[in-house]
């Protein structure tokens, strides 16, 4: 019988892994362009630029930012409203989504039908398998919208799972699950719809005692709730116009693109042969090292174990397939699916891991292991906070943005040449930190001009170079 205190070192290592893999990049300045963009839109919303359904990015490119549904910006703007404009506000928000997701993974793990009850005590296992996925910890270090959507889809999956395993005609779980599906949709679109398939997957794989008729009703309810809630929302013309812009200006154009097949295939290959390779190898090593053979899985008493693993693997697959259905293929679209792969692999590895841990507790090495766990946790914290106020990426660009931004009044439109205008990250940083928009047209109304040194182009006539000179860019001002 395991004692909870014996699991403490494993928890310390798991928490240490989360800290080491997520915090160092969060505490540094510089971020992936999408994360800066979402922070800029959220910050503008907190400053009453734009509205919830019509968020604002800048004066030139996106006076109405319709590239994503608006809920993430609305939630993050609350943090900006109460915590100020520091770069660490979006980082706190992003780290908080990782913490909430981790807590929900633990809750889901403890609700799963496991043949071995003690397996529920090693709920650190799926958490560890989840955070060691490279793109997963990267996403939480870069303020991606998938982080927030993943919170709501986890809530939806928990409730859909509970509703599917309940043998009474209790539909409240499914209603709640459907509610969180539509909340997830308002974060990142149709990628959040996969939980509606859980009642059908549960019946096909687990084979509960209730009839196909009940399964059909459960599935219909799971699908109907988000559909009804969506239609209630779009009765409001304001909301309808906002979501229509996202669906037709952004979403439909990506679906109709013909370059999808190769990208989908490549993304799925990357899923299994790059992102999930470490959890797969680790679980295989546990099974082989503990001599957990196929005979274990053939035992009737343990059937529920592998069926549960198959169920969560299929939930992960359904999430991944929806995520890769758009033209713009990015591996971080898969981030909301990783909790279910982690749970599936954890279920498969749990019997063998319990055997290994049981033996490990009796050895003298366990004391060394406990000390190592503390060292890993403290080392992770020390290393992470040593990154505070350092710059992780775009160091030269950020240097120029901070210097130039202080010399230009907020809410100013600045002229640049076309190649410079195409540098998306430059837009993001200027908007995020100074609400400065960049324009590439030749209008004479722009008072300031930023010239990129690498272009080796002279500034337009009538612009005079200011005293300060940047590392990548020079600032010019019209007149004296």
Chain segment 62-96, per-residue pLDDT in tens: 999 999 999 999 999 999 999 999 999 999 999 99
pLDDT above 80: residue 2? no
Mean pLDDT of the chain: 90
Look at strands 448-452 and 413-416 and give their pairing. parallel
Chain segment 221-248, per-residue pLDDT in tens: 999 999 999 999 999 999 999 999 998 8
What's the average model confidence in pLDDT over 434-445?
88
Euclidean distance between CA atoms 321 and 337, whole angstroms: 10
Residues 6+ apart with CB under 8 A from 425: 33, 36, 394, 397
Q: What DSSP element (H or E) covers 253?
A: helix 252-255
pLDDT above 60: residue 152? yes
Instruction: Decide which of 450 and 249 is more confident.
Output: 450
pLDDT, residue 136, reads 96
pLDDT, residue 257, reads 44
| Lowest-confidence segment of 39-53, 102-116, 339-353 by average pLDDT | 102-116
Closest Cα to residue 395, out of 369, 421, 429, 363?
429
What's the average model confidence in pLDDT over 353-372?
88
> To the nearest whole percent, how much of the chain has pLDDT over 90?
72
pLDDT above 90: residue 256? no
Chain segment 381-409, per-residue pLDDT in tens: 999 999 998 998 999 999 999 999 999 99
Is the four-CA dihedral 86, 90, 95, 99 of positive or negative sign?
positive
Closest Cα to residue 422, out of 435, 407, 440?
440
pLDDT, residue 9, reads 94
* Confidence grade of residue 363 (pLDDT, cut at 50, 70, 90): confident
pLDDT, residue 377, reads 95
**How big is the chain, counted in residues?**
480
Chain segment 171-193, per-residue pLDDT in tens: 899 999 999 999 999 999 999 99
pLDDT above 70: residue 262? no
């Amino acid at each position: 019988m395991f004692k909870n205190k014996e699991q403490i070192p494993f928890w310390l290592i798991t928490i240490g892994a989360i800290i080491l893999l997520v915090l160092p990049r969060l505490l540094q300045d510089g971020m992936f362009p999408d994360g800066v963009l979402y922070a800029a839109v959220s910050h503008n919303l907190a400053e009453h630029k734009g509205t919830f359904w019509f968020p604002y990015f800048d004066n030139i490119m996106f006076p109405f930012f319709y590239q994503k549904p608006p809920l993430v910006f609305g939630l993050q703007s609350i943090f900006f409203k109460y915590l100020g404009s520091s770069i660490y506000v979006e980082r706190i928000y992003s780290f908080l989504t990782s913490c909430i997701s981790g807590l929900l993974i633990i809750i889901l793990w403890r609700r799963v039908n496991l043949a071995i009850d003690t397996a529920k005590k090693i709920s650190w296992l799926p958490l560890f398998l989840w955070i060691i996925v490279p793109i997963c910890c990267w996403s939480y270090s870069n303020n991606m919208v998938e982080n927030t959507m993943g919170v709501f889809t986890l809530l939806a999956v928990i409730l859909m799972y509970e509703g599917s395993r309940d043998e009474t005609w209790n539909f409240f779980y499914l209603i709640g699950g459907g509610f969180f599906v539509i909340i997830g949709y308002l974060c990142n679109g149709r990628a959040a719809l996969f939980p509606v398939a859980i009642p059908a997957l549960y019946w096909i794989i687990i084979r509960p005692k209730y009839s196909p008729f009940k399964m059909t009703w459960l599935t219909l309810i799971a699908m109907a709730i988000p559909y009804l809630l969506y239609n209630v929302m779009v009765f409001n013309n304001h909301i309808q116009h906002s979501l229509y812009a996202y669906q037709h200006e952004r979403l439909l154009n990506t679906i109709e693109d013909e370059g999808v097949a190769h990208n989908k295939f490549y993304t799925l290959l990357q899923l299994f042969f790059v992102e999930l390779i470490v959890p797969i190898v680790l679980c295989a090593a546990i099974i082989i090292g503990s001599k957990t053979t196929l005979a274990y899985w053939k035992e009737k008493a343990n059937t529920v174990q592998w069926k549960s693993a198959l169920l969560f693997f299929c939930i992960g697959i359904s999430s991944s397939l929806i995520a890769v259905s758009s033209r713009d293929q990015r591996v971080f679209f898969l981030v909301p699916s990783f909790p279910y792969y982690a749970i599936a692999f954890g279920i498969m590895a749990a019997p063998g891991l319990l055997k290994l841990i049981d033996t490990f507790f009796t050895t003298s090495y366990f004391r060394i292991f406990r000390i190592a766990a503390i060292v890993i946790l403290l080392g992770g914290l020390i290393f992470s906070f040593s990154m505070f106020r350092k710059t992780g990426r775009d160091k030269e660009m950020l240097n120029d943005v901070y210097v130039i931004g202080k010399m230009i009044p907020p809410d100013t439109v600045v002229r640049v040449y076309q190649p410079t205008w195409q540098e998306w990250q430059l837009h993001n940083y200027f908007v995020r930190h100074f609400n400065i928009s960049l324009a590439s047209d030749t209008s004479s109304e722009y008072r300031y001009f930023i010239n990129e040194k690498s272009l080796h182009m002279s500034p337009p006539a009538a612009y005079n170079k200011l005293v300060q000179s940047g590392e990548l860019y020079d600032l010019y001002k019209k007149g004296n």
